[in-house]
Structure 1
Amino acid sequence: MDFWDIIWFIVVSFLFIAYLMVMFSILMDLFRDHGTSGWAKAAWVVLLLIFPFLTALVYLIVRGKGMAERRAADALQYKAAQDDYIRKVAGADPAAQIASGKKLLDEGTITSDEFDQIKRAALH
């Protein structure tokens, strides 16, 4: 193998991986879209298998905006679920944490310095 064979192999490998990424992206988007019927999904998949480059190009032109919108909606949904989980794991809201700290202060369980630390932590 000479130098240009190696360069050609790298370029072809890169293009093949990029092609696979586009195909998987299209397939993921196709099955993520709940508004498309099963027959339309089947037709897109069959066309992707028979005419992969042309079908991928047409899909990206026709449904590209919808792909971006569905991906953004999924990202927002994922972030909302993650935020809910963090809130649930982190504990109560700041007002409840401060009220709990005040109760402990009134009972004499903690000092006023510790209560101030609880307030600062709850408000940050």
Structure 2
Amino acid sequence: MNLAYDYPLLSIFWTMLWFFLWILWFMLLFRILIDLFHDDSQSGWAKAGWAIFLILLPFLGVFVYLIVRGRGMGERELTKAQKRDEQFRAYVRESAGSTGEGSTADELAKLTELRKSGHISDEEYAKAKAKILA
């Protein structure tokens, strides 16, 4: 019968360490596979070759992939993040109804600043405001 006190504390520590390293390695392997198949600069044959290499010799394949294409992984991820950010910003601009010239609220804010700075009079402000709101 195996009891909890028969398993020394250091053995528990090493078992947990190896378990988490194993999980970490799988996360890295899947991250590499995702990067490989999202890369449009690689041909289908190159992707198949890398995939076979990663499956047949997984430890060596992961290390070689990181050495050969590791820098590109970060650059591709940054490019994708910037593209997603730009798409999100375009969607927000479209949803908010703002156009290339600026929204009504932006134009009113600019008019208010001009009036506060003294560049336009109150009458000019009222005419421009009526024109914008019309």
TM-score range normalised by the length of the shorter chain: 0.7 to 0.9
Change (3 A) 1:105 1:67: closer
Match of 1:88 among 90, 94, 98: 94
- 1:72 corresponds in structure 2 to 78
TM-superposed deviation, 1:91: 2.5
The 2-side partners of 1:55 and 1:11 are apart by 23
Deviation at 1:104, TM superposition (A): 8.6
Structure with the larger helix share: 1
Structure 2 segments unaligned to the other structure (5+ residues): 1-6, 110-128
Specify the SS of the correspondent of 1:92. coil
Structure with max Cα Rg: 2
Structure 1 CA distance for aligned equivalents of residues 133 and 25 of structure 2 = 66
Return structure 1 stretches of 4+ with deviation > 2 angstroms. Answer: 93-96, 98-107
Using the alignment, how far apart are the partners of 2:78 and 2:133 within structure 1? 48
**Greater relative contact order (Cα 8 A, min sep 6): structure 1 or 2?**
1
Aligned length in residues: 107
User: Which residue does 1:47 correspond to in 2?
Assistant: 53
Change (3 A) 1:10 1:30: same
Report the TM-score when normalising by structure 2.
0.69
Letter in 2 for 1:24: F
Match of 2:104 in 1: 97
For residue 6 of structure 1, what is the aligned residue in structure 2? 12
Displacement of 1:50: 1.1
Residue 36 of structure 1 aligns to a residue whose secondary structure is coil
Structure 1 pair 61–84 and aligned structure 2 pair: CA distance change class (3 A): same
Question: Where in structure 1 are there 5+ consecutive unaligned residues?
Answer: 108-124
Residue identity over aligned pairs, in percent, reads 38
